[in-house]
Structure 1
Amino acid sequence: LDGAILLISAKDGVQAQTRILFHALRKMGIPTIFFINKIDQNGIDLSTVYQDIKEKLSAEIVIKQKVELYPNMCVTNFTESEQWDTVIEGNDDLLEKYMSGKSLEALELEQEESIRFQNCSLFPLYHGSAKSNIGIDNLIEVITNKFYSSTHRGPSELCGNVFKIEYTKKRQRLAYIRLYSGVLHLRDSVRVSEKEKIKVTEMYTSINGELCKIDRAYSGEIVILQNEFLKLNSVLGDTKLLPQRKKIENPHPLLQTTVEPSKPEQREMLLDALLEISDSDPLLRYYVDSTTHEIILSFLGKVQMEVISALLQEKYHVEIELKEPTVIYMERPLKNAEYTIHIEVPPNPFWASIGLSVSPLPLGSGMQYESSVSLGYLNQSFQNAVMEGIRYGCEQGLYGWNVTDCKICFKYGLYYSPVSTPADFRMLTPIVLEQAFRKAGTELLEPYLSFKVYAPQEYLSRAYNDAPKYCANIVNTQ
């Protein structure tokens, strides 16, 4: 995104979801404009809304318009210097100049506002009504002037990013790509994420909600490709030209449950539907248990599960039955441990020797890997096979849960040329890792959440009383 418009209801003020969206935008460093909507309704008190925004979102706002409310609806841009107070107060040089009585040029104030807006430390505020088309033309003009495109100007290498995957009613898989530089032509062969190449056989753009065929797309445009291999966040062309944006990591699911179709004959339809949904929504994770053949869904909470159930029924015509969800745990080693399995020593059936060590790390560290075996002795393909085996081995610890918060070191390796292959190392690694975990022992880690609760003053005492009932600890209050 080059920028965002955050809608705030003039009637309802800042809602819970408004806070969530605003904090996400700030975390990602996306310039944001506040737009107070529905100002044509009766009983509007804009001063209360302004105060609500300052207390719950940010005090660094610049009110850009003067508003006359119902019944004499009128929105006009400020021309006097009052709108610049927040801009001046945030810059020491401008404030010193202002306090000494020197005149401030409109150009330097606008430049300072633009810099702080792009840095997400200042938020212009506009008004209107989308339903009544009040203030919308002005907002479009503001968007044109304030949001700077991240695209490269002039001739340059191709660079584009896949930001959306969508399936049509005919099950065609569409990849939506934002081009940041270069030109994409029909029948071009394009490198994806600096690995494999794809050939562009069909190109579309969206015009008034309809897909229209095109034969080329330019920097700054959104192009749609029909492709089975492109994934979310895949980069077409030169990855170095991709603008750097802060990303919010997808949260780990907290719960899992077994899902099955109400009609057993729809099992394949259910699996196909889950594949499509998970392809376009990274928050949905599922797998088929290799022993029981049950379909296991991992999810964040009840609301997500209700949305998925409704989507399966309405779009894919598959009704499902869910079992009682269970908590997803993780495991961490208790102490340092090492284990080695040698080549040609029964019962090792593989042409490989591998020695691994495991060490516990502080909570939240994740899994870290290190190799002490020289690439001069064991080449990259064998080393990659060991890493793949470690990733596989960490998927199931001693209690059957993913292993995390540990450091795994590849300390020893031996191969026989020419009989040893990377597959030998890939297959042996999880066996060695399991034995290392058995020597170290593992502990179960239960998920916990850190969150803020906003409540009126009169409900604080109840919040204090209810928190312990749900195993929650209140750290501090403001």
Structure 2
Amino acid sequence: NIVDTPGHMDFLAEVYRSLAVLDGAILVISAKDGVQAQTRILFHALRKMNIPTVIFINKIDQAGVDLQSVVQSVRDKLSANIIIKQTVSLSPEIVLEENTDIEAWDAVIENNDELLEKYIAGEPISREKLAREEQQRVQDASLFPVYHGSAKNGLGIQPLMDAVTGLFQPIGEQGGAALCGSVFKVEYTDCGQRRVYLRLYSGTLRLRDTVALAGREKLKITEMRIPSKGEIVRTDTAYQGEIVILPSDSVRLNDVLGDQTRLPRKRWREDPLPMLRTTIAPKTAAQRERLLDALTQLADTDPLLRCEVDSITHEIILSFLGRVQLEVVSALLSEKYKLETVVKEPSVIYMERPLKAASHTIHIEVPPNPFWASIGLSVTPLSLGSGVQYESRVSLGYLNQSFQNAVRDGIRYGLEQGLFGWNVTDCKICFEYGLYYSPVSTPADFRSLAPIVLEQALKESGTQLLEPYLSFILYAPQEYLSRAYHDAPKYCATIETAQVKKDE
């Protein structure tokens, strides 16, 4: 099965979610454009997750291509541990031939003592030994074969596919191991049916099986499909290594079916947060409900897209990572859902953080408290990037779980809007005190009172407005280094360290 992923920065989180399910990756580089910024980011992610990778230099049939320059940029900017698998002649016509030169195997030989000794001694080295060492190095993600071609014209595709089938090995346990699979994609059909895609790492999945969702309820398999020969077909049984498509309204992205301990590879945990927001509205008021339904579906398929309705203005608020992502959403609303929308200019998403430790208590039957509940909360600021922590210091023996859950729900709601109207983060909230009257007090009283108490505690603490910032690596030719140092402060950027590598 082939998983095709976008290369633009705004969709890198989607790429990262797919990485964990791959046996291997083909990193496509345009012969015309060479190694781009996102190429480096993708390659870094592949290296970090130790995913076997083959590099394919595409579009070699375009005019003005300099393959030597492209290969050198791969060595300089991605990895020196590459092996060129073909000799390429571009004129008078394009000819691709297998590279049989022993020097092409330098990257394979130099990291194997036995092969290196034979090479230095001038002894012959069999192609079988070289091929075995190459396959092992590729599987270890320490060697990267380079192939050439033109996908549009089918040039060089067969050698690439032969390499993929020969070099990549299925991840996961073979044979009759316990069931394990993870969800990497959610989609909605044109009919509105929700489907989840999962990679089956081990075991066998059968129709009418009841399987465990890690940490959650069990799932009954009532329908199952798999990709086969370019089509999606029904099946009664799915085996280790296959991609399985299930209809489900409850299974979420990154859910694990079966035994979570058998996951062969750690999942990517570095999804960025949305940094921009805008208001979106239908051109006709009658389409508002349809727009909300469509945005809910789109947000379900992409964790970096969030949709909410402002409780005061009732405007539809859309939070996202980048402008290209917003353009794609607008296109999907128009083409798939037949909705014409009005989108305002995006603005930056801020957050709030308490300035100092503070606490507040509201007592039962003390006006103006209208609820049959007493709640005391404390707020303590944490270091930047810590997120929100919660602790209950009220005994479950006194205040039972349903009341405790209601307090936490109320706090979660209260954190959505701080003193400046933004989400509150980087703090610890402690439930210090609670009192109820039996039998009149209900969880709803605690759920309603908690955000009011939290607001008062935040007023006593005060909050600091946090602006989003990104850390990044800037690559520039050495002759522009002084310009980079000069211009960075103009854009509120701070250069922490600088390294020189060849001409960068």
1:75 aligns with 2:97: yes
**2:6 counterpart residue number:** none
Paired AA for residue 315 in structure 2:
E
1:85 aligns with 2:101: no
Distance 1:109-1:416 versus aligned 2 partners, 3 A rule: farther
Paired AA for residue 254 in structure 2:
N
Q: Cα RMSD between the aligned structures?
A: 3.1
Paired AA for residue 408 in structure 1:
I
**1:211 counterpart residue number:** 232
**2:293 counterpart residue number:** 272
**1:284 counterpart residue number:** 305
**Residues 291-327 of structure 1, C-alpha deviation per residue, up to 9 Å, x if partnerless?**
2111011122322222221221122121111223222
- Map 1:449-464; keep pairs closer than 5 Å: 449-456=470-477, 463-464=484-485
- For the residue of structure 1 that corresponds to 2:429, the secondary structure is strand
The alpha carbon displacement at 1:158 in A equals 2.3
**2:458 counterpart residue number:** 437
**1:17 counterpart residue number:** 38
Q: Distance in 2 between the 1:39 and 1:173 partners?
A: 40
Q: Distance in 1 between the 2:365 and 2:38 partners?
A: 61
**Residues 217-264 of structure 1, C-alpha deviation per residue, up to 9 Å, x if partnerless?**
112111222222222222222222223324053221222111111122
In 2, are the aligned partners of 1:333 and 1:442 still within 8 Å (CA)? yes
With 321-330 and 404-413 compared, the bigger mean Cα shift is at 404-413
**2:151 counterpart residue number:** 130
Distance 1:376-1:209 versus aligned 2 partners, 3 A rule: same
Paired AA for residue 287 in structure 1:
E
Q: Distance in 1 between the 2:174 and 2:314 partners?
A: 53
**1:262 counterpart residue number:** 283
**1:199 counterpart residue number:** 220
The alpha carbon displacement at 1:335 in A equals 0.9
Q: Which runs of 5+ in 1 are unaligned?
A: none
- For the residue of structure 2 that corresponds to 1:78, the secondary structure is coil
- For the residue of structure 2 that corresponds to 1:154, the secondary structure is coil
Paired AA for residue 73 in structure 1:
V
In 2, are the aligned partners of 1:29 and 1:246 still within 8 Å (CA)? no
- For the residue of structure 2 that corresponds to 1:174, the secondary structure is strand
With 201-210 and 107-116 compared, the bigger mean Cα shift is at 107-116
Distance 1:305-1:133 versus aligned 2 partners, 3 A rule: closer
Q: 1:50 aligns with which of 71, 91, 101?
A: 71
**1:146 counterpart residue number:** 167
Q: Distance in 1 between the 2:111 and 2:393 partners?
A: 52
Distance 1:390-1:145 versus aligned 2 partners, 3 A rule: farther
- For the residue of structure 1 that corresponds to 2:69, the secondary structure is helix
Q: Count residues in correspondence.
A: 476
Distance 1:458-1:225 versus aligned 2 partners, 3 A rule: same
1:312 aligns with 2:326: no
The alpha carbon displacement at 1:380 in A equals 4.9
- For the residue of structure 2 that corresponds to 1:253, the secondary structure is coil
The alpha carbon displacement at 1:134 in A equals 3.6
Distance 1:442-1:119 versus aligned 2 partners, 3 A rule: farther
Q: 2:194 aligns with which of 155, 173, 182?
A: 173
In 1, are the aligned partners of 2:86 and 2:96 still within 8 Å (CA)? no
Q: Which runs of 5+ in 2 are unaligned?
A: 1-21
Q: Distance in 1 between the 2:333 and 2:395 partners?
A: 50
Paired AA for residue 330 in structure 1:
M
With 143-152 and 420-429 compared, the bigger mean Cα shift is at 420-429
- For the residue of structure 2 that corresponds to 1:176, the secondary structure is strand
Q: 1:396 aligns with which of 400, 405, 417?
A: 417
Q: Distance in 1 between the 2:332 and 2:209 partners?
A: 36
**1:59 counterpart residue number:** 80
1:470 aligns with 2:491: yes
**1:159 counterpart residue number:** 180
Q: Distance in 1 between the 2:356 and 2:192 partners?
A: 50
**TM superposition score normalised by structure 2:** 0.84
- For the residue of structure 1 that corresponds to 2:409, the secondary structure is helix
- Map 1:325-336; keep pairs closer than 5 Å: 325-336=346-357
Q: Distance in 1 between the 2:389 and 2:114 partners?
A: 48
**2:15 counterpart residue number:** none
- For the residue of structure 1 that corresponds to 2:176, the secondary structure is coil
Distance 1:348-1:30 versus aligned 2 partners, 3 A rule: farther
